[in-house]
Amino acid sequence: MPIIECENLYKSYGKKDAPFILKGVSLSVGEGEFLVVTGESGAGKTTLLHCLSGAEMPTVGRVLFFGRELSALKRAEADEFCRQKSAFVYQSDRLSENLTIAENILMPRAFRGEPTQKADALFLLESLGMERFADRFPNELSGGERRRIALLRALSVSPKVIFADEPTGNLDRTNSMRVMESLKEYNQKQKSAVVLVTHSEECAAFASRRVMIKDGMIF
Ligand SMILES: Nc1ncnc2c1ncn2[C@@H]1O[C@H](COP(=O)(O)OP(=O)(O)OP(=O)(O)O)[C@@H](O)[C@H]1O
Ligand SMILES: [Mg+2]
């Protein structure tokens, strides 16, 4: 059964007559699927992820997210519903500069009202060999290290679906593979879905299914 479905989605930003960025996208994401989205810069990959995850509402069309039509919910309700089921790894890491690495990782849990024990952050950090960073602040980390922390922050709430927008963006090959392997392991152990955008063929090879987006349309 699909966990996310969209039908004939159109998305434009801003004014009513603004051009459509997504042009009639229909797509479903199945439970436990590892869906990889590729396509050129500006094709609409991030826009698609934002629409599928409820971060943005489509201009035309609907998104069924775990059986509920997001546009039928009030904004705050949709946000809350999506937050319970999913996590997003953004194209930029969006870490909070005034929180430690451990606190950053636990932040989504705090948002959900779940326990926030430092031991849980350490456990996640160990999975990527990064426990030494627990008490440091984001500005003391490299760009690549920050990206990996952003991934751990998403994993901390055991989401049913992870949206990852170029999570290996500025990582070297070794660290890209570590990130991809963490995602794959999570996907297989938890039967959680992953929807991932990448420009890398090597990363795309982790997919159970691939789609390409070109000029706002799916191929
Ligand atoms: N908030 C916004 N307001 C206006 N236009 C936007 C907005 N977000 C994206 N766009 C436009 O939509 C188009 C698609 O952007 P999007 O970020 O989805 O591309 P992308 O496929 O993720 O590209 P990249 O690989 O460079 O990340 C671009 O032309 C962009 O300028
Ligand atoms: Mg993008």
Most ligand 1 atoms within 8 A of CB, residue of 11, 13, 25, 37 to mutate: 13
Q: Can you give the pLDDT of all 219 residues of the chain as single tens digits? A: 899 999 999 999 988 889 999 999 999 999 999 999 999 999 999 999 999 999 999 999 999 999 999 989 999 999 999 999 999 999 888 999 999 999 999 999 998 899 999 999 999 999 889 999 999 999 999 988 999 999 999 999 999 999 999 999 878 998 899 899 999 999 999 999 999 999 999 999 999 999 999 999 999
Structure token pair of residue 100: 């430690």
Q: Please tell me the pTM assigned to this model.
A: 0.94
Place of tokens 């489509």: 58
**Residue 38: what are its φ and ψ, rounded to 5°?**
-120, 170
Ligand number nearest CA of 48 is: 1
156 C-alpha to ligand 2 centroid (Å): 23
132: exposed, middle or buried (Cβ count in 10 Å: 0-12, 13-18, 19+): exposed
The pairing of strands 209-214 and 34-38 is parallel
Q: Does domain 2-93+158-218 have CATH number 3.40.190.10?
A: no
